[in-house]
A and B are shown apart, each in its own frame.
Chain A
Amino acid sequence: MSPLDETTDAVVATGVGKVFPAGNVTALEGVDLVVRSGEFVSLIGPSGCGKSTLLRLIADLDAPTSGTLTVFGKSAEKARIDQDYGIAFQQAGLLPWRTVSANIELPLELHGVGKAARKQRSAELLSLVGLTDFADRFPDQLSGGMQQRIAIARALAEQPSLLLMDEPFGALDEMTRERMQTELSNICAETGAAVVFVTHSIPEAVFLSDRVVVMSPRPGRIETVLSMDLGSASERAESLREDTAFFEMVTAVREALHQGAPARGVDDR
């Protein structure tokens, strides 16, 4: 938890519900959640419990049907228009006709940042994700893991104070995945951004998060919220994965998950 400029909470959800008119699906019901500024919060739960839906509500890609949601004290729409968040999906979603650096510069370009400033920023971000040599390549010349790193760099382009990530490492192999987790952890320590992170992997949630939000299946509700007392992001290193405290937390999250329902779709990797 970053104690810095803790002026406003990043996300405050009060009694948020979402009913999809198509098929009358209640995806979320009575969700109360506070994500403090600079805090890393993971959402975990069985498939279809509404994790992506909650993230999309925060991103104002969809609107809640009940309850209220504020992002940095404003409506989610205002926060989107003010570009308070950066988002990364399960798929990288790079534009295939743009080079790697042009992809990272896309949000800057859309918001009228000058050419020189854009170049400088994309160079910074490329070195942050370790892909400086690939600036002029096209997405189809990169591996899936590299593309995902570019997508994360793109999400960071405007130095958002909130990062929204929906299973960004879902398509990666275990090795790359762990390396990316460490990288993300470092990035968060550096930028001090709050993160809402959707994942299916318990160890991933434990390794990255300050708090893990365990959700129950339909209608999606918050089952429990577990604090991970594993030190701040900057202190977390690879060695943490072999720490007893880490395993205890993994067990705690697993038990919380299995309490709700048979945890379909959640793997214990």
Chain B
Amino acid sequence: MTALDAPPALRRRRSPRVALTRIGIGALGILAIAAIWELYKAFGPADGVVIGDSRILPRTSDLAMPHIVDMVSRLFEPVTRADGSPPLWLEVSGAAAVTLGIAAVGWVVGLIVGVALALVMVRSRLAESSLLPWIVLSQTVPLIAFAPVVRSWGSKIEIGAFEWQDWMSVAVIASYLAFFPVAIGALRGLQSPDAIHTELMRSYAAGWWATLVKLRFPASVPYLLPALRLAAANAVVGAIVAEVSTGLRGGIGRMIVQYAGQASGDPAKSWGPIFGAIVLGLVAAGSVALIGGTLGNYRRAEVNS
């Protein structure tokens, strides 16, 4: 929420050098986390740090915290000892791709629903004051409770040749998390034009649609892009959680649970799908950033003489 409440970051053109610096800082961050992990593993108390009844820092055993090297090299070893078993990274990538596909469907549905809701709310004050509280409230429903309900409703849908698939339930849940930032961001963006611009459009006798297309949509871009990025991250989280709670096979959510069950025998393996999920989130957010790159002119700082 806070990210959306702040005025949109109005981007200045970045030079390649700035971009390189940013990549460097990112890489440094990853190295720092790896260093902290290994340092804690080497020097931290073997039994972790326990306050009262809860362990706030993990044990340093190989079972709880495998070496980074082990986790990475495990990715290039076969999934199982069976003959012809593919390397772990391939298995993880396949599952991540499945989840990404479902999350993308959820993102698109969330985008459409979110923008449609924002349009209705921009069109009428009454709609805004009656819809907005429900939209906010919708996000307080616990996903875990909600997922099985969607699945059982979905299984009852059958229209002609169309039959509800289990992955669709997961996409619906992903879209449920994705539509929220879009609705809020689009609403703020569509309402962002100054009086001077709306009055200019009025002086041109431009109707509601013309004002929407020429003024409100372009003006909403700086608000919409961070919202879409947030929606992409939400869609991925929603898809993974929904895969777990609806028990959908093939995706990365299920794989995380399944490998975690085998962790006692092969602790490094269970980290494979977790890395996969992280990369998945980055790919999703990165794709949205690419869309943003093509819309640079809509993100020019507003200047007033």
Contact = CB atoms under 8 A, between A and B. Distances in A.
Interface string B227-248: 0000000000000000000000
B215 A95 contact: yes
Given A91-B196, A110-B214, A96 B204 contact: no
A107 interface: yes
B15 interface: no
A109 interface: yes
A44 to B, nearest CB: 22
Interface string A62-90: 00000000000000000011010101010
Contacts of B302: 96, 140
A138 B215 contact: no
A93 B197 contact: yes
- By size class, the interface of chain A is 20 to 34
A15 interface: no
Given A91-B196, A97-B218, A147 B203 contact: no
Contacts of A106: 204, 214
A260 to B, nearest CB: 29
A89 B196 contact: yes
Interface string B121-134: 00000000000000
A182 interface: no
B46 interface: no
B21 interface: no
Interface stretch (B167-175, B178-186, B262-270, B293-301): B293-301
Contact of B206 (A61, A89, A110): A110
A92 interface: yes
Given A80-B205, A93-B200, A140 B300 contact: yes
Contacts of A143: 305
23 contacts: A80-B203, A81-B205, A85-B203, A89-B196, A91-B305, A92-B305, A93-B194, A95-B197, A95-B214, A96-B300, A96-B302, A96-B303, A106-B214, A110-B210, A110-B214, A138-B297, A138-B300, A139-B303, A140-B301, A140-B303, A145-B305, A147-B305, A171-B305
Interface of B: 194, 196-197, 199-206, 210, 214-215, 218, 221, 297-305
